[in-house]
Structure 1
Amino acid sequence: MRPAPVPDLPDIGRRENLRDRIREALRAAIISGRLEPGVVYSAPALGAQLGVSPTPVREAMLDLVKAGLVVTHANKGFRITEMSEEDLDDLAAVRLLIEPPTVRNVVPVIPKEDLPELRTLAQAIVHAVECGDLVGYIEADHVFHLTLLGYSGNRFLMDVVSDLRSRTRLLGLTPLLESGRLGRSAAEHHELLDLVEARDPAGTELLMHRHIGHVRGLWAGGAGDTP
């Protein structure tokens, strides 16, 4: 259990759904490794970085406790939970069972008129990489994939995938950003939409399988491209 200085986090500002915004910013920071596993962070320190008071930070952190991403430490703050290599393998394996075949199935039902909006979502991922915004990258990536899977109309599947994605740790994002490989990975989202636009379910499924392999094999610090 290691105390540590809080990394730079984006100023959240004053918004109507402040607790939700804080929760998602903290979730993205945990997933990307900006908030380190095993480290205890205090609500006042996090609030100072986010530009808000400690109270909504505590409330947001309690939501993340329920999600299993952090645990509370009385009078100290919140410790980011650690995940083993086996945990990450298991998460990736379940995602591979669900996401590629689901994307294959939704390709024929995605309306052509929805493609420009999906392109905008994909470009937001690329833009975040170009700006070096890892937290923004995680948020944009989450929105894109959940929007795509949403065409399945299966809310239970959406809940499961959202939870799996939230628990995955992408601890290799910073070196990938510095090497330029994250930018190439971000561009895969446009490649995925090219296949959707071409109405190629099989190709879309294969690309999604490879994409999830990157999450486990590269971004999470593994040795290969697939679990």
Structure 2
Amino acid sequence: MNMASVEGRRSLRGQVQERLREAMVAGELEPGEIYSAPKLAQQFGVSPTPVREAMMELAGEGFVEPLRHRGYRVVELSESTLAEVTEVRALLEVPAVGRVAELVGAQAERYAGTVDELRGVAETLIRTAAAGELQQFIAADMRFHLGLLGILDNEVLLEEVRRLRRRTRLYGLRAMAEAGTLAATAREHHELLDQIEAGDRAAAEALMRRHLGHVRGVWAGRPED
């Protein structure tokens, strides 16, 4: 078998898998609904094979449930699981962001380029929030937070945060975009960078904790705690 074709197939499957995951996180593929591989393949402009392969991977992650001869049902994240995921994220991300603030505040010149790049991603978040481009918003949000934590140069931390963020379902995201409140949440990323550049660990941690509260509350379609 041609290795280039194998790698190309893996790459296509990975792209489809990421797009499907983002659509589920954003609530564009709705919990409880059943989706067929051929229909999704037509929507993505690919053959059904990479969609089926991607769906089986997502089934292993708990995103979907395969239904024989019917397709795949999107699994709803329970409130208790959402609470547990958000709690673990807070335990990891809040102090990590505080440590980033200390590093950047103490070595501003060293991290100036990284902060500038993150400012650009923050602008993308504001633009996509205003336009209601939810999958693009989700992708940019992942880039921002992993890029920020990447300053700590800890691959184990990044992989765990990536895994936990992928488990989150933002059921209220479309409603926030339509109401215009998603843009306000997006602007918090610039505020967070301001606090990090100032080396204000306490303020950065407080904002990160509040930011995660959106995931637990409004972003999940439930009242915030």
| RMSD (Å), alpha carbons | 1.7
| Higher share of residues assigned helix | 2
State the match for 2:132 in structure 1.
Answer: 132
- CA deviations 1:37-70 (Å, max 9, x no partner) are 1222111101111111111111221221222111
User: Does the 8 A contact of 1:31 with 1:166 survive in 2?
Assistant: yes
User: Does the 8 A contact of 1:69 with 1:81 survive in 2?
Assistant: yes
One-letter amino acid matched to 1:150: G
State the match for 2:119 in structure 1.
Answer: 119
Secondary structure at the aligned position of 2:217 is classed as helix
TM-score, normalising length from structure 2? 0.89
User: Does the 8 A contact of 2:171 with 2:220 survive in 1?
Assistant: yes
Distance in 1, matches of 2:186 and 2:9, equals 28
Selected match of 1:35 from 16, 29, 32: 29
State the match for 1:210 in structure 2.
Answer: 210
Q: Highest relative contact order (Cα 8 Å, sep 6+), 1 or 2?
A: 2
State the match for 1:173 in structure 2.
Answer: 173
Distance in 1, matches of 2:44 and 2:143, equals 21
Greater radius of gyration (CA): 2
Which runs of no fewer than 5 residues in structure 1 stay unpaired? 1-13
User: Does the 8 A contact of 1:24 with 1:139 survive in 2?
Assistant: no
Distance in 1, matches of 2:12 and 2:199, equals 39
Q: How many residues align?
A: 212
**Equivalences for residues 1-227 of structure 1 within 5 A:** 17-110=11-104, 111-224=111-224, 226=225
Tell me the CA shift for residue 222 of structure 1: 1.9
Moved more, 75-84 or 187-196: 75-84
Distance in 1, matches of 2:58 and 2:150, equals 23
TM-score, normalising length from structure 1? 0.88
Which runs of no fewer than 5 residues in structure 2 stay unpaired? 1-7, 105-110
User: Does the 8 A contact of 2:23 with 2:135 survive in 1?
Assistant: yes
User: Does the 8 A contact of 1:170 with 1:215 survive in 2?
Assistant: yes
State the match for 1:10 in structure 2.
Answer: none
Distance in 2, matches of 1:15 and 1:176, equals 36
- CA deviations 1:53-106 (Å, max 9, x no partner) are 111111221221222111212222211112211111111111111111011112
One-letter amino acid matched to 2:31: P
Tell me the CA shift for residue 16 of structure 1: 9.1
